A and B are shown apart, each in its own frame.
Chain A
Amino acid sequence: MSKIVVGTITANIVVIAIGVAAVIAGVGYGIFADNGQIGAGFLPVFAGSLMTVFAALDLVTTWRGGGGTLEELAAERLGLPTDAALAPAAARTAAAGRATEPAVGSAAAATSEGTAGPAAGGATEPAEQEASTGIGEVDIFGRSQRRRNQILLIVVGATVITVLLVPLLGFIVSFALMLFGISFLVERQKLLTSIIVTVVALAAIYGIFVILLRVPLPQGIFGF
């Protein structure tokens, strides 16, 4: 079973659980008022039962290996013949955008570091880009899927920690740390550029939100 199937089934089960809980809570709130009119619990029960029913149906479909792409379904719904050529082609071209040919990759990576090398222009031409891949492969910076998953976890974690730090350090300082941390430590960008980007971004946010719009961003021990 593929990861996406396991994920979908897990999501379905979670939705069913929430749906059932909503129905139970809704019954508690009272579906109907004393005079027979709609009560506070009606919509929770309604939404909860729909969630339960359709999540269960989706679970069965997923289990049997059903489903299709957006384009196929849209065409089908409108009663058009499914344009089989369209969907895969779209997917392929979209994937070509994250081309993974190592040669192109290094050229592009060079550009990303701020050196506007002419080599990057090469990415427009090569036909081998066509035969590229999507998720699950090495991206243009030569990162594996494993590494990208790691980065995702680190970024989500860093965001949680940043928000937790806001009451202590203040909004501006916490987010300055996050910006610098992500660009320099996680994304391995140049030290100077990382500092400049962080300072400019936070200064702009401070100018717009604190000075112009007078939003009282939480202050920390530094007093701003």
Chain B
Amino acid sequence: MLENLMLGFQTALTPENLLWCFIGVLMGTIIGLMPGLGSTTGVAILIPLTLAMEPVTALIMLAGIYYGAQYGGTITSVLISTPGEAASVVTTLDGYQMARKGRAGAALAIAAIGSFVAAIISLALLMALAPPFAKLALNFGPVENLAIMILGLITVVSFSGGSLNKGLMMAAAGLLIATVGVAIASGQARFTFGNVNMLGGIPFVEVMIGLFALGEVFYQIRVGAAAPIRAKFRDMVISRNDLKRSGAPIIRGTFIGFLLGCLPGAGSTLASFMSYGIEKRFSPNRDEFGKGAIEGVAAPESANNAAANANFVPTLALGIPGGGTTAVLLGAFTIYGIQPGPLLFENQPELVWGLLVSFFIGNAMLIVLNLPMAPVFAQMLRIPYAYLYPIILLTSFVGAYSVNNNMFSVWLVLIFGVVGYIMKELDLPIAPLVLGLVLGPLFEKSLVQTSALGQGSFGIVLQSPIAVGILIFALALAIGPAIFRKVKPSKKDPALV
């Protein structure tokens, strides 16, 4: 353990990695605070920039964007009540009210402190939990992997919001997109329509950039711009009383966030909603909720940060993304030629531990950046969207082009941009589609291997107790809540709400 940490520090503390870590968290903060630019979009657009880097440096920077965006999203939520990140939606409830009472500084400070505390605790847990998980998964054969893939697909779908049908429909669509190209089973070309560019499959980065970046820009144009404001920062100092009130909610938020973040797909949005709901029900100051209670900022902000880190448990240990952004990051792994999964800890200890240690460094940078600099970042909100979105479009297309140096990528981005826009308009969840796309090839591989092992029969799945256990767990996650709802209708009793 200590050895691994040392290795991690050695990797993360090189001047180059430190610099890119800083650039990552800084850009993450900015990306998070721009309304309509989330961490998923940011990472997707910036992957092409990292292609020339060492994989570990690239991943350190991209991960920095991911957790940096959590801090940035808070600034927008508090100041203009428009979350830059879905995970910051609940922060608008009390954060914005605090800002209106002239306490924007205190809200941002407690959010930064809560996020930092949550990050440190959840990182320690992540470092302790991910390696044993990976070790366990090392013994997994194709059969167990198949069960894990099914679990991953089902959890993402059941937690990704909206209706279950829509989620499953989109996950299946992602799987279908993943089948384009040469089939691993037989080498046949599938769905290429005679186009040479399609033989290698639909490239991942282009789809991400289209769905997230372009789709979001088109959607924002139709929704209309957010009102820029000038916030008053009387001081970033928070009172002793504020700290005392926030302590317990921060700790509770951290653990709720971590637990939910460990489940593939549950993610930070759900974590922030849940921790807010729990504080609202049990806090001694629950009457103040919605009117500017500091607990209402501290708890969800800690939860979403803890969940963001916990997302790396399934991502690194099993190779199953925890959410949208980690799915894009997993895509990045494969672009750098790294096979994500349990073997990562064995084969690439430098990369894994360097990345994990960089989270500590990045979060330390973020709190130093955010406490005094929040008013400066807030100025960024004054950049008119009219200039911002053409630049986002430009960057998306250049980035897409530079992955494979061809115009086919550019057209793909455009097509998936329109698809992404329609999905946003119709409230069709994008995350399951991304997951289907990422897991598709792995899913097919484990299917083919399993059927080869069983000589055409899937009966061997039943011979693995681990696989059966995982499948039962998956089934419980998928149908359990629905049954629970039917059995206990009293849960919806208005008196309880």
A contacts, CB < 8 Å to B: 4, 7-8, 11-12, 15, 18-19, 22, 25, 29-30, 32-33, 35-40, 42-44, 46-48, 50-51, 54-55, 57-58, 61, 66-68, 70-71, 73-86, 89-90, 93-94, 96-99, 104-105, 108, 111-113, 116, 118, 120-121, 123-125, 134-135, 139-141, 143, 148-149, 151-152, 155-156, 159-160, 163, 166-167, 171, 175, 178-179, 182-183, 187, 189, 193, 197, 201-202, 205, 208-209, 213, 215-218
Contact = CB atoms under 8 A, between A and B. Distances in A.
B50 to A, nearest CB: 10
A2 to B, nearest CB: 11
Nearest to A84: B497
B456 A32 contact: yes
B426 A124 contact: no
A182 to B, nearest CB: 4
B90 to A, nearest CB: 6
Contact of B387 (A54, A97, A139, A197): A197
A83 B176 contact: no
Contacts of A178: 390, 393-394
Contacts of B99: 124
Contacts of B221: 148, 151-152, 155
A10 to B, nearest CB: 9
5 contacts: A37-B455, A81-B492, A124-B231, A166-B410, A189-B384
A156 B169 contact: no
A163 B401 CA distance: 11
Contacts of A209: 398, 402
Contacts, number: 311
B390 to A, nearest CB: 4
Contacts of A77: 158-159, 481
B496 interface: yes
Q: Which one of B158, B229, B273, B280 has the highest number of Cβ atoms from chain A below 10 Å of its Cβ?
A: B229
A163 B169 CA distance: 31
Contacts of B492: 81-82
A156 B274 contact: no
Q: Which one of B52, B83, B230, B386 has the highest number of Cβ atoms from chain A below 10 Å of its Cβ?
A: B386
Nearest to B180: A44
A67 B163 contact: yes
Interface string B58-101: 00000000000000000000001111000001101100100110
Contacts of A141: 224-225
B224 A148 contact: yes
Interface string B252-281: 000000000000000001100110110010
A67 B386 CA distance: 34
A111 to B, nearest CB: 6
B230 A124 contact: yes
Interface stretch (B112-120, B183-191, B327-335): B183-191
B165 A58 contact: yes
Interface in B140-198: 158-159, 161-163, 165-166, 168-169, 171-173, 175-176, 178-179, 183, 185-186, 188, 190-191
Classify the secondary structure of A's interface with B. helix
B25 interface: no
B223 A135 contact: yes
Given A85-B497, A104-B227, A51 B163 contact: no
Given A19-B172, A140-B226, A213-B49, A97 B162 contact: no
B367 interface: no
Contact of B394 (A71, A104, A135, A205): A205
Contact of A39 (B186, B274, B387): B186
Q: Which one of A50, A171, A175, A189 has the highest number of Cβ atoms from chain B below 10 Å of its Cβ?
A: A50
A43 B443 contact: yes
A61 B175 contact: no
B90 A217 contact: no
Contacts of B159: 74, 77
B422 interface: yes
Contact of A54 (B83, B168, B426, B484): B168
B181 to A, nearest CB: 11
Contact of B277 (A70, A80, A96, A108): A80
A45 B90 CA distance: 41
